């Protein structure tokens, strides 16, 4: 029998490795931007065509590479960042494993132009399917330009799994935002299909946050800064009024590397406890700097999940820093110890405290409670006590006061009859606590949560509309204009067609602007902008635990907006949902 085990060819091995590193165009964007940052660039340009499927190009003015380095950069595990095993525990660069360019070259057609300042000429290299097709000297500016064309051209099955252009573009904007936010001292631009989406001048961290997340944060950010021997924390958190109903603008960076950490997010949430509703989420952009030796960034191919040597210390520092920042900027409630001038006019302050008043005060139970032992929990017996004996709670109503019982019945009746409503079938309905609907059934009563019930009705209506004919649109006499951030504009491009099918007539109106021309006929007008803003937030941060289609995510986000909320008093018409 012949031997069965053979070594994989390099191009196949690279494609397998690329499956971990390059999952979609946004993955390549992240790797190329991080390489440009590591090269010491002060200006980085990102060019995108066809949502990255046709072209991803990053141009930087960094240090550039020699001819030998340029050729070696496409080999697997070729890196300038690590020389020994100890270097792995002192990583401060963004990339270090030497897999990015090799993975990109395995699934795309790559063109590299690079030049160092000390070299007279640069070098040009073409790579396709991990094989160098051309290498020659060229005239080029200092820095590096790398163009990645026709992603997954040699792996059609992978290309078929890519989403729509709008969806892929949204992921690209997310990756661009994370890198650009992490390095505000670098100029970043993003151009898609020859239209510039971002132009971010070098500046402060606050300026970069406002540029990326919107002007509404300009006056609503609180500075966080705590320096210790173990770690430093700095950045910004949003004031409580900026909290949203979805996990929106939340960013953690460790040694300038964006990370995802539910554990540290809980630390921030706990700092906002009792300041925001339980179902709201604060905005934050927080940077943690600490010794690379106490953090492992090599536990995930995308390097977005990391491990700390002691998570509890990090948690405590983050929580304390955010709490201190909110208190320092008078965001948290504080006690006012200044004496009101009107208090000085009270008789108890202005009149003398005579011996007779002192004696009366000293004989009271309050004075004894503070001056004598074992008096703190003592309660004086009093014949004037209006508390009934505890046994009366268990006595039969027949024994009680008949008049009191009749009064109670009268009171209960007036409370419930006010809530009783009739459906078209003359079934008696009762609304309870402005939250539940009670209706008779053959075996007793049915208790329905009004918001959940309405959401179900709306869900069925929207599902039917998405399959059959579109929902009727009521055009607005005075259309509303939406000014969106580039990230939200990318989301809008992804869902605008489906929104029209569901009754929202929205049209482009210039760069990152849209006009709401109409809304569903059965939706109350006047709050369209707020509805769309929240809809975008919910759609962007929809739970990934269950794989829903784009249309399903949109429908579920819409019904949350349109459903009658808990605490709403129902009319007969609304109760007959």
Q: Are 198 and 251 within one domain?
A: no
Secondary element (H or E) of residue 513? strand 513-520
Out of 202, 232, 257, pick the residue that ends a domain: 202
Q: Are 192 and 210 within one domain?
A: no
Highest mean pLDDT out of 49-53, 248-252, 376-380, 447-451: 49-53
Confidence label for 388 from pLDDT (cuts 50, 70 and 90) = low
User: % helix / strand / coil in the chain, to the nearest 5?
Assistant: 40, 25, 40
Task: Give residue 53's domain range.
Answer: 10-202
Partners of residue 286 on adjacent β-strands:
235, 252
Confidence label for 349 from pLDDT (cuts 50, 70 and 90) = low
CA distance 513 to 507: 9
Q: Is the dihedral of CA 228, 91, 213, 251 positive or negative?
A: negative
Q: Is the dihedral of CA 535, 517, 466, 568 positive or negative?
A: positive
Q: Are 182 and 322 within one domain?
A: no
Partners of residue 195 on adjacent β-strands:
192
Reference 318, options 260, 258, 232; nearest CA is: 232
Contacts of residue 344, defined as CB under 8 A and 6 or more positions apart, other chains included, come to 350
Q: Are 499 and 529 within one domain?
A: yes
Does a structural domain hold residue 393?
no
Out of 142, 174, 202, pick the residue that ends a domain: 202
Structural domain tally of the chain?
A: 3
CA distance 569 to 565: 9
pLDDT digits (tens, 9 = 90+) for 159-194: 888 888 888 998 999 999 999 999 999 999 999 999
**What pTM did the predictor assign?**
0.69
pLDDT at residue 237 in the model: 94
CA distance 564 to 536: 20
H helical segments located in 22-150: 25-38, 67-72, 100-107
Does a structural domain hold residue 253?
yes
Confidence label for 251 from pLDDT (cuts 50, 70 and 90) = very high
pLDDT digits (tens, 9 = 90+) for 285-340: 999 999 888 887 665 555 667 778 888 899 999 999 999 999 877 655 544 444 44
Reference 174, options 345, 26, 359; nearest CA is: 26
Q: Are 164 and 217 within one domain?
A: no
Order of strands across the sheet with 257-259?
Answer: 221-227, 231-238, 284-290, 250-254, 257-259
| Average predicted confidence (pLDDT) for the chain | 78
Bigger pLDDT: 181 vs 521: 181
Q: Please give the share of the chain, as a percent, with pLDDT higher than 70.
A: 71
pLDDT at residue 47 in the model: 97
Q: Are 159 and 256 within one domain?
A: no
Q: Is the dihedral of CA 212, 214, 218, 224 positive or negative?
A: negative
């Amino acid at each position: 029998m012949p031997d069965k085990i053979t070594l994989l060819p390099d191009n196949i091995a690279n494609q397998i490795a690329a499956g971990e590193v390059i999952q979609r165009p946004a993955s390549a964007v992240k790797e190329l931007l991080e390489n440009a940052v590591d090269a010491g660039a002060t200006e980085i340009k990102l060019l995108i065509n066809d949502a990255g499927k046709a072209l991803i190009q990053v141009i930087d003015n960094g240090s550039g590479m020699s001819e030998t380095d340029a050729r070696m950069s496409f080999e697997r595990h070729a890196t300038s960042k690590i020389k020994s095993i100890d270097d792995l525990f002192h990583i401060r660069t963004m990339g270090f494993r030497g897999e990015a360019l090799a993975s990109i070259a395995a699934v795309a057609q790559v063109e590299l132009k690079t030049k160092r300042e000390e070299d007279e000429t640069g070098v040009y290299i073409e790579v396709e399917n991990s094989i160098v097709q051309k290498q020659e000297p060229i005239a080029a500016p200092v820095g590096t330009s790398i163009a990645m064309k026709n992603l997954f051209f040699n792996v059609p099955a992978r290309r078929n799994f890519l989403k729509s252009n709008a969806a892929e573009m949204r992921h690209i904007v997310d990756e661009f935002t994370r890198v650009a936010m992490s390095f505000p001292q670098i100029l970043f631009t993003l151009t898609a299909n020859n239209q510039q989406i971002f132009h971010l001048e070098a500046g402060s961290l606050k300026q970069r946050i406002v540029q990326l997340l919107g002007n509404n944060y300009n006056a609503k950010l609180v500075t966080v800064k705590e320096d210790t021997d173990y770690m430093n924390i700095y950045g910004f958190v949003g004031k409580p009024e900026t909290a949203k109903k979805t996990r929106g603008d939340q960013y953690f960076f460790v040694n300038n590397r964006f990370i995802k950490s539910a554990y540290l997010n809980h630390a921030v949430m706990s700092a906002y406890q009792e300041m925001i509703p339980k179902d709201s989420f604060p905005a934050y952009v927080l940077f943690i700097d600490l010794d690379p030796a106490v953090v492992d960034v090599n536990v995930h191919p995308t390097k977005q999940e990391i491990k700390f040597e002691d998570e509890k210390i990090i948690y405590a520092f983050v929580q304390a820093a955010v709490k201190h920042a909110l208190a320092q900027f008078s965001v948290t409630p504080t006690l006012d110890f200044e004496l009101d001038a009107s208090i000085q006019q009270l008789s108890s302050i202005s009149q003398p405290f005579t011996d007779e008043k002192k004696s009366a005060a000293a004989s009271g139970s309050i004075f004894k409670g503070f001056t004598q032992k074992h008096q703190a929990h003592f309660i004086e017996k009093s014949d004037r006590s209006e508390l009934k004996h505890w046994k009366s709670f268990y006595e039969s109503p027949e024994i009680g006061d008949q008049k009191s019982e009749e009064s109670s019945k009268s009171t209960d009746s007036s409370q419930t009859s006010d809530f009783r409503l009739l459906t078209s079938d003359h079934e008696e309905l009762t609304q309870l606590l402005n939250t539940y609907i009670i209706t008779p059934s053959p075996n007793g009563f049915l208790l329905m949560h009004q918001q959940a019930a309405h959401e179900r009705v709306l869900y069925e209506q929207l599902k039917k509309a998405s399959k059959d004919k579109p929902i009727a649109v009521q055009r607005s006499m005075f259309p509303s204009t939406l000014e969106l951030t580039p990230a939200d504009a990318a989301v809008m491009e992804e869902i605008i067609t489906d929104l029209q099918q569901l009754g929202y007539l929205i049209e482009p109106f210039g760069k990152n602007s849209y006009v709401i021309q109409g809304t569903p006929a059965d939706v109350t007008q006047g709050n369209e902008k707020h509805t769309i803003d929240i809809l975008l937030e919910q759609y962007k941060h929809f739970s990934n635990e269950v794989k829903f289609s784009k249309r399903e995510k949109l429908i579920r986000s819409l019904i949350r907006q349109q459903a009658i909320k808990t605490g709403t008093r129902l009319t007969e018409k609304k109760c007959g949902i």
